[in-house]
Amino acid sequence: MIKLQIGSPSVTIIDAHKYWNATGIYIEIGASYRFEVEGEQFWYDAGIRSNANGYTKLWLRWAEMFRRKPNENWFSLIGNIDQSSEQEFLIGKKLEKHQATSSGELFCYANDVPIMYFNNHGTLSLTITRLS
């Protein structure tokens, strides 16, 4: 597992098809991190193209409550510490500063309905930098 040094970024690939993307990066409680998906990068929910901020569709409103993070956009990039439902946070295209409230491995995923990952494809390159 990689423990980031202050100011030294690490890049990891997040696959839309995977329910959990293990990053191998150890997040430390109390430390601050910046997360960024640089440039124009897209992944796909079936045939719907999306960036890391996700998307909304009126015709999908009925299903929003079934998403893993119901209050966040479809296909928004979500961070998670040790696969704990209490330690999830929105990353999106850029999260300027996130102070970790627990320690553990960083996992990421595209926000979707749990049984619908089979039709997801594409990857995003996520840069993580420890700030303090």
Please state which CATH number belongs to domain 2-130: 2.60.120.430
Contact between 43 and 50 (Cβ < 8 Å): yes
Quick count: other Cβ atoms within 10 Å of Cβ 119?
13
Domain coordinates in residue numbering, the chain? 2-130
pLDDT at residue 35 is higher than 90: yes
63 vs 12, 86, 109, CA distance in Å?
30, 22, 18
Q: What is the mean pLDDT of residues 37-49?
A: 97
pLDDT reading at 24 higher than 90: yes
Over residues 68-107, the pLDDT tens digits come to 999 999 999 999 999 988 899 999 999 999 999 999 999 9
Q: Residues 106-132: what's their mean pLDDT? A: 98
